[in-house]
A = this chain, B = another copy of it.
Amino acid sequence: MRPLILISNDDGLDYPGLQTLVDIARELGDVVAVVPLHHQSGKSNAITILTPLRAFQVRHEAGLTVWQVDGTPTDCMKLALDQLLGGRRPDLVLSGINHGYNAGISTIYSGTVGVVLEAVLRHIPAVAFSHGDIVRDIDFAPCVPHIRRVVERALGHLDALRDVCLNVNFPRQAGTVKGLKVTTTAIGHWEQEYDHRVDPHGFDYYWLQGRYVSDNPDDDTTDLYWLERGWASVTPIQVDQTVRQAMPAVAQMLGI
């Protein structure tokens, strides 16, 4: 029996990144894609609580079913796993290919990554893919062999991905994927984050922008370090943010 591969993203249906990933996955298994109805940039692990969700099946043929859901990427995953797959458990979850990096601290704001975190907390193997360019017409051809390799290897080693998922990014520079590197997430933050403007009525408004400041730009283990040098990064991540080694110091701080 062919493996069942569940795919989502944050850009929605009509994006070349999604199409590329679906095409690769269809070579390797039966595919169900459940994607947001509307563009969902920067939605992190957001979920819809106060309003109900709708789901629309827009394609159904041998080996491929496609749904749109009027929610976030995490909503898509939850509704797929609970309802739309009819109780089947996917062998592998894929997310992307996102148009734009989900590397460094962007990881925590990413709906593309939210998809795979929702999978791994159920111990379903999952891989997120993102590309450094944000234009619509990215040439994904240099990435395809690497994506196929990662998906094939993941399908062949599902037990290695029960407690971690993979966050894969491809470098912005066209045609120069030197290979895959296993990396850590670069930590940092943005500065000068808002472009403050005044509207024609004299009221203030603020556009998100920003200049990224890395905590450790010379650390040769990080995703951003290798992406800047033309490599694709593969970072194993998980959902637990507990800092166990800080627990004694916190207890001492609290006097307990």
A117 to B249, CA, bound (A): 19
Q: B240 to A236, Cβ gap below 8 A?
A: no
Measured as residues with beta carbon below 8 angstroms from the partner, the interface class of chain A is 35 or more
How far does the Cβ of A248 sit from chain B's closest Cβ, in whole Å? 8
How far does the Cβ of A165 sit from chain B's closest Cβ, in whole Å? 9
Q: B46 to A44, Cβ gap below 8 A?
A: yes
What residues on B are CB-neighbors of A188 within 8 Å? 121
Q: B250 to A182, Cβ gap below 8 A?
A: yes
Stretch of A1-9, A169-177, A200-208 that contacts chain B? A200-208
- Smallest Cβ-Cβ distance to A179: which chain B residue: B256
A144 at the interface (CB under 8 A from B): no
What residues on B are CB-neighbors of A236 within 8 Å? 242-243, 246-247, 250
What residues on B are CB-neighbors of A234 within 8 Å? 250, 254
Q: B208 to A256, Cβ gap below 8 A?
A: no
Q: B185 to A256, Cβ gap below 8 A?
A: no
A236 to B253, CA, bound (A): 12
How far does the Cβ of A67 sit from chain B's closest Cβ, in whole Å? 11
Chain copies in complex? 2
* Majority-rule SS of A interface residues: mixed
Q: B253 to A206, Cβ gap below 8 A?
A: no
Stretch of A16-24, A58-66, A90-98, A102-110 that contacts chain B? A102-110
Q: B42 to A79, Cβ gap below 8 A?
A: no
Q: B45 to A164, Cβ gap below 8 A?
A: no
A193 to B236, CA, bound (A): 27
Q: A149 to B241, Cβ gap below 8 A?
A: no
Q: B52 to A42, Cβ gap below 8 A?
A: no
How far does the Cβ of A20 sit from chain B's closest Cβ, in whole Å? 20
Q: A182 to B49, Cβ gap below 8 A?
A: no
What residues on B are CB-neighbors of A163 within 8 Å? 243, 246
How far does the Cβ of A199 sit from chain B's closest Cβ, in whole Å? 9
Q: A79 to B206, Cβ gap below 8 A?
A: yes
Q: B208 to A48, Cβ gap below 8 A?
A: yes
- Between A and B, 10 residue pairs with Cβ closer than 8 Å are A46-B72, A55-B206, A79-B206, A105-B121, A108-B121, A160-B249, A182-B250, A184-B247, A185-B240, A241-B241
